[in-house]
Structure 1
Amino acid sequence: MVEIFQNIRKIYKFKIPCGELVNYIEFYSQSNSDCSFQGMRNEFSPVKMFPSWTPTFYINLGAPYYIDLKDSRFYVKKGEDVLILRNGDVTRHKLPTDNIFTVKFNPGGMETILGFNQVSIIDQVINLTQILPSELLRKIKQSISFEERVELIESYLLEIFVKRGDQDHYINIVNNCIGEYRASGMQLNTSKVAERMFITSKTINRYFNRVIGASPKSYFSILRGRNALTGFINDKENFIPMSYGYYDLSHFHKDIVNFTGQRLTKHL
């Protein structure tokens, strides 16, 4: 199964974070254990996920599984919880017995809330006990509902966020640059974004590499590709590549092949 081309979201429950954290956390999710989803879950193994530069907590409530990261395979034991950055292609080998609670941060969001810079975990699988208290992880794994798990982790993250106070200057600038790029309909190149933020191209590159671990050009390309491909899959007939900053359909198709390794004609 390939992320975006096939809608993996339909086998998960999702919740959007509270207003104070919504700029830094994309979502909370958990495997849907409802019996009506069991047959559907069998279809999704393995799951190939594309780069997004989003730090992600995987709290394991179920069986062990494998994660392929770059050229390495990692075995995640039952009860073991991990953090990965998703800076490259990641494949998670799922089982029908999977039950995983997930916290997916926006780029730079983990550092804003927890003070942990994501650049330090490029190409790594980190044991989550290095980031979160063991007691919190134990409580999340108790026989409670998805909503209760969200409340537990969100209360903890919100408390830490409030104590940390103002954002780091670098993170502020990077978040504003990403917001400017999105607001333009993903039409601007790096130099134009820098110009609108009243900084130099050298500065915007330094800030993105400091906060995200990638150049603004690389990150904007991934952001545009993910959004455009999602739009294409959701509504092929009304898809307009120019709405995402592409010159035409051919330009979009070439970018998606580079991004995913797959041709769009396979999914028409």
Structure 2
Amino acid sequence: MKTDGFLPRHRAIECFHQKGNKLFGIKFKISPVIFEKKINFSEYREYIFPLSYLMDSGMLVKIKTSTSFEERVSILTDYFEKIIDQYSGSLKPIEIVSQILAHCENNRDFITPVEDFAKQYNISSRTLQRYFETATSISTKTAIQIMRIRKATEHLATDPDTFNSADYGYYDHSHFYKHLKSFLQKNTLKKLQPHLRLLEKLHGK
């Protein structure tokens, strides 16, 4: 990649590090950029597009010319916090999406029906769906399931001895394994065969 890029969070990207690479990424559940820009996420389904038009050009220059990682973090933290403070309380849909995602992550609640979440906020399921598509580019269910598999996989990778698929709402290990494979692309599946075999062994225990 020779220039800046904007990639919706539901798309995978693989980076092969080599000498001379300069990578700096930011991961948001909901990017503050949507406070100021109306984005049609359908335009970002297949390719990586320039980031320049989504951020102030002067800010991009500051980031690129900063001398350290810590300085870049400080610049961007100040930039995004000002946006969040400016629009705090004025965007109800984003607040609702943020609260639901925080609830799911903090409570490992990945099985509550979308209809129940909608009732909590006195809105229809269709309205909640629209909120999620505006804020995250994907549906309510898809966003929650992506969070679910990421949290479960992170737990399995970092502390396999305490991992229990039931803690993430899976019926059993095979249910988790099937869900994990559904999120992997064909090329990625080939590279992960040794790891998948480990999962299969765990399932066999």
CA shift, 1:108, in A, is 4.6
Q: Percent sequence identity over matched residues?
A: 27
Q: Report whether the alignment pairs 1:237 with 2:158.
A: no
CA shift, 1:110, in A, is 2.9
Partner Cα separation in structure 1 for residue 196 and residue 76 of structure 2: 42
5 Å-filtered alignment, 1:181-200, equals: 181-186=104-109, 187-200=111-124
Residue 241 to residue 130, structure 1, CA distance change in 2 (3 Å): same
Higher strand residue share? 1
CA shift, 1:115, in A, is 3.7
The equivalent position to 1:202 in structure 2, one of 110, 120, 126, is 126
- Quote the residue 2:65 is aligned against: 142
- Quote the residue 1:212 is aligned against: 136
The equivalent position to 1:122 in structure 2, one of 17, 22, 44, is 44
Contact 2:32 2:84 in 1 (8 A): no
CA shift, 1:208, in A, is 1.4
Residue 145 to residue 183, structure 1, CA distance change in 2 (3 Å): closer
Q: Report whether the alignment pairs 1:168 with 2:91.
A: yes
Contact 2:170 2:176 in 1 (8 A): yes
- Quote the residue 1:131 is aligned against: 54
- For normalisation by structure 1, the TM-score amounts to 0.62
Residue 98 to residue 226, structure 1, CA distance change in 2 (3 Å): same
Task: Give, as a single letter, the amino acid of the residue that structure 2 aligns with 1:117.
Answer: I
CA shift, 1:230, in A, is 0.8
CA shift, 1:137, in A, is 2.1
Partner Cα separation in structure 1 for residue 129 and residue 63 of structure 2: 38
CA shift, 1:129, in A, is 1.9
Contact 1:108 1:171 in 2 (8 A): no
Unpaired segments ≥5 residues, structure 1: 1-75
Contact 1:85 1:118 in 2 (8 A): no
- Quote the residue 1:266 is aligned against: 197
- Quote the residue 2:202 is aligned against: none
Query: What secondary structure, in the 3-state scheme, does the structure 2 residue paired with 1:173 have?
Result: helix
Give RMSD over aligned pairs: 2.5
Higher helix residue share? 2
5 Å-filtered alignment, 1:45-84, equals: 76-77=1-2, 80-84=3-7
Residue 165 to residue 126, structure 1, CA distance change in 2 (3 Å): same
Partner Cα separation in structure 1 for residue 42 and residue 31 of structure 2: 12
Worse-matched range after superposition: 247-256 or 190-199: 190-199
Deviations 1:45-78 (Å, cap 9, x if unpaired)? xxxxxxxxxxxxxxxxxxxxxxxxxxxxxxx32x
CA shift, 1:121, in A, is 4.8
Contact 2:156 2:163 in 1 (8 A): yes
Deviations 1:107-140 (Å, cap 9, x if unpaired)? 254324x445362652242222212233322222
CA shift, 1:228, in A, is 0.5
Partner Cα separation in structure 2 for residue 115 and residue 169 of structure 1: 16
CA shift, 1:170, in A, is 1.5
Contact 1:83 1:128 in 2 (8 A): yes
Partner Cα separation in structure 1 for residue 145 and residue 100 of structure 2: 14
- For normalisation by structure 2, the TM-score amounts to 0.78
- Quote the residue 2:33 is aligned against: 110
Number of corresponding residues: 190
Contact 1:110 1:118 in 2 (8 A): no
